[in-house]
Chain A
Amino acid sequence: MRIPCPLCGTRDRREFWYRGAAVDLERPAPDAGVEAWDDFVYLRENPAGPTRELWYHEGGCGAWLVVERDTVTHEIGRVALASEERS
């Protein structure tokens, strides 16, 4: 599997560390309530198909990436810097 890093170009999977679903980009407000925080911390979708995930390019540029990946085909879709997705 290869991931096209926006800074480094297409790189081997071994350079990347997997964080999980890209929920960290939409962190609830501190006073959002128990339900929102329970959902944010514990509850995850487990789709067969397209997912939006966070990967860390630890063996390369050190950037956090938002990666769209299909869990059925392992096809990689859009990849963007997490710092730019957030702002």
Chain B
Amino acid sequence: MVELVARTPCAGLLPLRVGAVLLDEVAPGALTSVSPYKGQAEALSKVLQAAHGMGFPAPSRATGDRQARAIWFGHGQAMLVGPAPDPALADHAALTDQSDAWAAVRLHGPGAEDVLARLVPVDLRAGSFPEGHSMRSLLFHMTASITRIEDGAFLILAFRSMAATLVHDLQTAMEAVAARG
């Protein structure tokens, strides 16, 4: 019998420190996309609150904390990050297991905003993108989900198949920011 070893999406690539900016891989736990059925958004939010402790996020927002997050993930969709989804959620929403399908990294340290400013066409400075805000946009050439989480850090989710590109693009921007001193 072959012994299979689990590899994280960014295994061998992270962690990375360039200047004062740090990039770590995050083990997000289970990832489940949650899409409320028509007219069920409010009922779903109540079930989500009771089961996992946070409501369904408004557009461009994230709810929850380190243990369990609900990140707005697009039109009529959120990503439940952390716990296995409560079965009661399925009464109000389409659930899809996306665990292991996304690379999750955390970018933090002074200058993290400058790094993202080189890659993302959205203002991610704290003034317009404080903790609890989230967005879908482009990170250089690929789509990504970026959320401002605790301690001013950014949680970035991108397709697992693009993990090496994600790290490469971030590293290039980190080096460019560090080179400016």
Residue in A closest to B122 when the chains form the complex, CB atoms: A11
| Cα distance A76–B135 in the bound complex, in angstroms | 22
| Range of interface residues on B (Cβ < 8 Å) | 10 to 19
Q: Is the CB of A11 within 8 A of B75?
A: no
| Cα distance A81–B121 in the bound complex, in angstroms | 22
Expressed in whole angstroms, the minimum distance between the Cβ of A60 and any Cβ of chain B is 5
A83: which B residues are within 8 A, CB to CB?
A: 75
Q: How many chain A residues touch the partner (CB < 8 A)? A: 16
A-side binding surface: helix, strand, loop or mixed? loop
Q: Is the CB of B121 within 8 A of A15?
A: yes
Interface set, chain B 114-139, CB cutoff 8 A to A: 121-122, 135-138
Contact flag A63-B75 (CB < 8 Å), given A7-B60, A11-B122: yes
B137: which A residues are within 8 A, CB to CB?
A: 8, 11, 15, 59-60
Residue in B closest to A63 when the chains form the complex, CB atoms: B75
Enumerate 11 A-B pairs (CB-CB under 8 Å) in ascending A order: A7-B60, A8-B60, A8-B137, A9-B60, A11-B137, A15-B121, A59-B136, A59-B138, A59-B143, A60-B136, A63-B75
Partner of A63, one of B74, B122, B135, B143: B74
A60: which B residues are within 8 A, CB to CB?
A: 74, 135-137, 143
Expressed in whole angstroms, the minimum distance between the Cβ of A55 and any Cβ of chain B is 13
A77: which B residues are within 8 A, CB to CB?
A: none
Interface centre among B59, B74, B77, B136 (most CB of A within 10 A): B136
| Cα distance A65–B76 in the bound complex, in angstroms | 14
Q: Digit string of B70-105 for contact with A (CB within 8 Å is 1, else 0)? A: 000011010000000000000000000000000000
| Cα distance A7–B76 in the bound complex, in angstroms | 10
B138: which A residues are within 8 A, CB to CB?
A: 14-15, 59
For residue A62, CB closer than 8 A to chain B, the reply is yes
8 smallest A-B Cβ distances: which pairs?
A63-B75, A12-B121, A62-B74, A7-B59, A61-B74, A59-B138, A61-B75, A60-B136
Contact flag A7-B121 (CB < 8 Å), given A15-B138, A59-B143, A60-B137: no
| Cα distance A12–B60 in the bound complex, in angstroms | 16
Q: Digit string of A38-74 for contact with B (CB within 8 Å is 1, else 0)? A: 0000000000000000000111111100000000000
Interface set, chain B 51-76, CB cutoff 8 A to A: 59-60, 74-75
A7: which B residues are within 8 A, CB to CB?
A: 59-60, 75
| Cα distance A14–B135 in the bound complex, in angstroms | 16
